[in-house]
Structure 1
Amino acid sequence: MTHLELDHLVYAVPDLLAGVKEFAERTGVQPVPGGSHPGGTANHLVGLGPGAYLEIIGPDPAAGPGARPRAFGLETLTEPRLTAWAVRGDDLEARVRRARERGYDPGKVEPLSRVRPDGVRLDWVLTRRDDPAAVRLVPFLIDWGDAPHPAASGLPQLALVSFTASHPDPESVRADLAALEAGLEVTEGPEPALRAHLDTPRGPVTLT
């Protein structure tokens, strides 16, 4: 198996167009449309260097007022939140088995897709865990297979200076991370939180 690598960070926003506008104003970098997912979400993307990117995800403006996307807590989200992250690897089924043997269940491996603005459909697989947590400190797994990776599509770039987490019981999170063979600095804090420190044209920006 290849080593797990950071694939992307998930920044969930209650209103996609407003969230993208606010992000562009804070950073000086304009995210580009990524496309629409089944289930009523859409995203915009910013590169974080070779092989990684930031996904700004929210309700799809084209899906209509009846859509109620549940992914990443969007159904009840009231303000932007860095809510999850993904690591990239091969043979996800084997990785899931190994993690379960070590005491952590990443969930089922399921297919997902989205259609880019140019009409190209991307298909990949990822792990889905039934987790009501608003912020997920342990990453989900993703394998893009033969699909072109989003980070290789000429995205506007920002530098990810650091990516860390905090939790009232950091040792429990470290144990789950170790079971998954994923690395992340976790410190003690009052509530579960992810923090991404970015170097932007308008100075340092922290997403939480």
Structure 2
Amino acid sequence: MLTLDHLAIIAPSLAEGAAHVRDQLGIDMPAGGKHPEMGTHNLLLRLGDDTFLEVIAVDPEAQRPPHPRWFGLDDPRAVRAAWDEGRRLRGWVARTDDLGAALARHGALLGHAVPVSRGDRNWVFAVPADGSLPAGGLAPSVMDWGSRGNPAAAMPDLGARLRSFGIEHPDPEWVSALHAALALRDPPAVERGARFRLRAVIETPSGLRTLT
């Protein structure tokens, strides 16, 4: 079974990602850390006891890794194009305690297991061979935190809570069938829309806000 773990804003830079969250949620996101295996860094915002929001971008101070980065970050033109179109919340991650079994069933979609780290934390993350988002972001990336579990409870609590997470797509039935095949627990609501878009409704100290 796969369970929603966190949402990802895929940004051209952390500064732009921070400004977007500040504009949409009225919150300054705390720093996260660096991922040396991927040449990326992030900001992190707690959205509950076991859910959080991440802004992730290429770390300009890091060496390029010898393998594709996650979240499609090796294609800066595509990242910029989506950003300029207003599609900024583009990734989501589900956790499992049996990543091997998930990849045995869906490895062609989800990718292969890659050990990664941030500070003193280590986990395993499934990355497609080309580093792209699974099904372009319609499916979650999948990971296993290991024995330490999701870190959200240890993050500063700034009063943000995830209230709903949904997907807009021209063929919602197909997307829902994909999620059913992946055995997602509490999958996102899928609604018909002119184009693919992720949307999260987040309760903040200043009221309900929508993040896209």
Pick the TM interval, shorter chain. 0.7 to 0.9
For structure 2, which runs of at least 5 residues remain unmatched after alignment?
Answer: none
| Secondary structure at 1:73 match in 2 | coil
For residue 196 of structure 1, the aligned residue among 170, 194, 200 is 200
CA drift of 1:135 comes to: 4.8
State the alpha-carbon separation in 1 of the partners of residues 182 and 15 from structure 2: 34
| Secondary structure at 2:191 match in 1 | strand
**What does residue 16 of structure 2 align with?**
18
**What does residue 118 of structure 1 align with?**
none
Is it true that 1:93 corresponds to 2:93 in the alignment? Answer: no
For residue 174 of structure 2, the aligned residue among 166, 172, 182 is 172
**What does residue 6 of structure 2 align with?**
8
Percent of aligned pairs sharing the same letter: 40
Name the structure where helix makes up a greater proportion of residues.
Answer: 2
For residue 115 of structure 2, the aligned residue among 91, 111, 116 is 111
**What does residue 185 of structure 1 align with?**
189
Change in Cα spacing, 1:86 to 1:22, as seen in structure 2 (3 Å) is closer
For residue 34 of structure 1, the aligned residue among 2, 19, 32 is 32
TM-score (norm 2): 0.80
CA drift of 1:82 comes to: 0.7
Deviates more, 1:42-51 or 1:178-187: 178-187
RMSD: 2.6
In the alignment of these two chains, the number of paired residues is: 196
The answer to whether the 8 Å contact 1:165/1:193 transfers is yes
Change in Cα spacing, 1:91 to 1:73, as seen in structure 2 (3 Å) is closer
CA drift of 1:31 comes to: 1.4
1:50-76 CA distance string (max 9 Å, x none)? 111000111225438x89x85323422
Is it true that 1:206 corresponds to 2:204 in the alignment? Answer: no
1:171-202 CA distance string (max 9 Å, x none)? 22122211111122111111111100111123
TM-score (norm 1): 0.81
